[in-house]
Amino acid sequence: MRRLFGLTALLLAMASHVPAFAATSADLDECIRGRDYERALAACTRVIDSPTATARQRFAAVFYRGKQRSDHYDDRGALPDVEEATRLNPREAMAWNNLGYVRTSLGDFDGAIAALDTALAVNPKLVLALHNRADAFDQKGEFDRALADYDAAIRLQPRDWGLYHGRALHWSAMGEYDRALADFATAIELNPKAAKAFANRGEIWRQKGDLTRALSDQTHALELAPNLNVGFIHRGDTYRYMGQFDLALADYDRGMVGAPGYIPSLTGRGLTFEKMGDRARAKEEFEKALNSPWQDRSGISKSSLETARAHLAALESGASLPEIRPAPAKAVSETSIPTAQAAVPTGIAPQKGGRRVALVIGNSAYRNVPALPNPERDAAVIAATLRAVGFDMVMLETNDDRDKMVDALRNFAHAADGAEWAMVYYAGHGIEMAGVNYLIPTDAKVATDRDVQFEAVPFDQVMAAVDGARRLKLVLLDACRDNPFAPPTRSTPPDAAPAREAMAPTAGAGVGTRSIGRGLAEVKVSGATLVVFAAKQGQVALDGEGGNSPFAVAVTQRIATPGVEINKVFRLVRDDVMEQTAGRQEPYTYGSLPGNEDFFFVAR
């Protein structure tokens, strides 16, 4: 999605920004303006190799040969040319911009940002460089810096629809869907034929649970641009979520017209066949994705590759396919979805070879806010699942007040000392205040934001409880991601407490939910540590109507997959939750594991 939008912006900018050198030869004219790719490349090369070409002509030929290759998705081939262009003319800001753009497409975000910094040092008003740097910041996860660049670009060119489109994608990544819709509306007002704006706005309607409106926007995008491959990907995903598999497969195929080997299309086909129960064809499509010559490995292609790797590993393990129901055309609840009931896996040879311990907490019976229907049941099934896969000790706690939660964490910390693995799973309310995450015990009373630190349990205490493990520290949070006390909570004055003002809840605040609003704060982890949130920032962590949350269902379905490394297990969990929720909820994992060792819940 970002790759294609960036390409559009680049083409528009290049059409209006031709460096001031003399294009005197027919070869140079063909190089710059030729519509036949192979002829244009050959013409550029003849100019570069010509002993009579001037320095400006040679720079032009290198500059546009890199552009031609990037336009045709050969970013690895383009990289030497765009690098050479910056050496030949280091004062040409567009040369540095192109280098940053190509590096972003290849997944080198730090290198991209450095090149775009140089472009903006040469020309601080080069809006395209601001836009492309914002995209690189977004993909790197530096969202505040991305937003600053989008805002700066819009101040310079307030009538550029593409800038509002880019900022809308930023808001979407942050879970700020209403802001995304506002920016998409502005983009479409400025350019009613902006197909990508319609295609990507359809994704926002899907995130909000309205698949009918999503299809309407996605279809209109393809009416405006019948060859928009990302539009076919989005609509194919929507059809797949709804269980309309033939329509999904047709769209994925059309998404590869003009873009053979497009990784999101191949992965989408694999997920469709998997959902249809066709293991062999699913495996074939995932293998095609992993072996695709498609060179753009950023954004949607990077995510699709991670999905293909995880699902191929699961298929090769022989594990049963998960049960995932089609999503309704329009969600009937903001806080829950239909789900299968979680089931404890059976017939597993328990993992041996090192002591693994876990603490599982499920808080449902809150006294001062509406109760949550599923966490107590989620905790019970997760605890049973961990025992089934061979954990040596599993402590199960339900409906803990603050004293009981603190005692449970303290006792577990002693049990975790010297263990190979230590894992905490928590289901219940949780909030973020002033950049600090808290778990909410059942007896918490919060009248002002200042009360949170006295009534709740800081996330740091959870991390301290697993810190004694020798090989792996693992925390799973299926928690509320906003302040459940928002209606009565008052913010203390700024000079009395630095905490961020609590957000007012959305409609339905009188019903117990795990998530309304902006989400838990990012966590920093080090060493062999993973922290898995049931929903990324800004998304609702939904409850399931089958007795368990979609996250708990996915964990129990995937955790016993034999011989699948733990990072892939949580990628499978993430993908299953997205399938169950039509993409409304996307789990997010913080941390990484050492590359010299693999971790498995269940050995092959």
Mean pLDDT to the nearest integer, 562-574:
96
The answer to whether residues 70 and 146 belong to one domain is yes
**Number of neighbours of residue 55 by Cβ within 10 angstroms:** 10
What would the pLDDT profile of 6-46 be if each residue is shown by its tens digit? 333 333 343 334 443 444 578 999 999 877 999 999 999 99
Q: Which residues face 600 on adjacent strands?
A: 565
This prediction's pTM: 0.83
CA angle 394–399–402, rounded 5-degree value:
95
What would the pLDDT profile of 47-74 be if each residue is shown by its tens digit? 999 998 999 999 999 999 999 999 888 9
The answer to whether residues 122 and 158 touch, using CB atoms and an 8 Å cutoff, is: no
Does residue 14 lie in a domain region? yes
Of 316 and 296, more confident = 316
Longest dimension (CA), the chain: 84
Q: Provide the pLDDT confidence category of residue 489 given band limits of 50, 70 and 90.
A: low
DSSP string for 412-481: HHHHHTT-SEEEEEEEE-EEEETTEEEE--TT---SBGGGHHHHSEEHHHHHHHHTT-SSEEEEEEEE--
Last residue of one domain, picked from the residues 318, 333, 368 = 318
The answer to whether residues 259 and 366 belong to one domain is no
The answer to whether residues 170 and 296 belong to one domain is no
The answer to whether residues 446 and 473 belong to one domain is yes
For residue 247, give every residue at least 6 positions away whose Cβ sits within 8 Å of its Cβ, in sequence order, or none: 236, 239
CA atoms within 13 A on the CB side of 583: 25
Range of the structural domain that residue 293 is part of: 227-318
Beta strand 430-433 with 457-458 is unpaired
Beta strand 430-433 with 436-439 is antiparallel
Does residue 278 lie in a domain region? yes
Q: What CATH number should be reported for the domain holding residue 76?
A: 1.25.40.10
- By the 10 Å C-beta count (0-12 exposed, 13-18 middle, 19+ buried), 510 is classed as exposed
Does residue 492 lie in a domain region? yes
Of 194 and 447, more confident = 194
The answer to whether residues 146 and 27 belong to one domain is yes
Does residue 300 lie in a domain region? yes
What would the pLDDT profile of 370-404 be if each residue is shown by its tens digit? 789 899 999 999 999 999 999 999 999 999 999 99
Amino acid in position 147:
L
The answer to whether residues 343 and 371 touch, using CB atoms and an 8 Å cutoff, is: no
Query: Is the pLDDT assigned to residue 512 strictly greater than 60?
Result: no
The answer to whether residues 445 and 312 belong to one domain is no
Residue 185: strand, helix, or coil:
helix
The answer to whether residues 276 and 374 belong to one domain is no
The answer to whether residues 131 and 204 belong to one domain is yes
Among the listed residues 291, 322, 315, the one whose alpha carbon sits nearest the alpha carbon of residue 305? 291
Q: What CATH number should be reported for the domain holding residue 489?
A: 3.40.50.1460
Last residue of one domain, picked from the residues 318, 345, 375 = 318
| pLDDT (0 to 100) of residue 491 | 53
The answer to whether residues 248 and 263 belong to one domain is yes
Number of domains in the chain: 3
The answer to whether residues 494 and 553 belong to one domain is yes
The answer to whether residues 549 and 427 touch, using CB atoms and an 8 Å cutoff, is: yes
What would the pLDDT profile of 169-199 be if each residue is shown by its tens digit? 999 988 899 999 999 999 999 999 999 999 9
Does residue 347 lie in a domain region? no
Average pLDDT value for the chain: 88
Does residue 220 lie in a domain region? yes
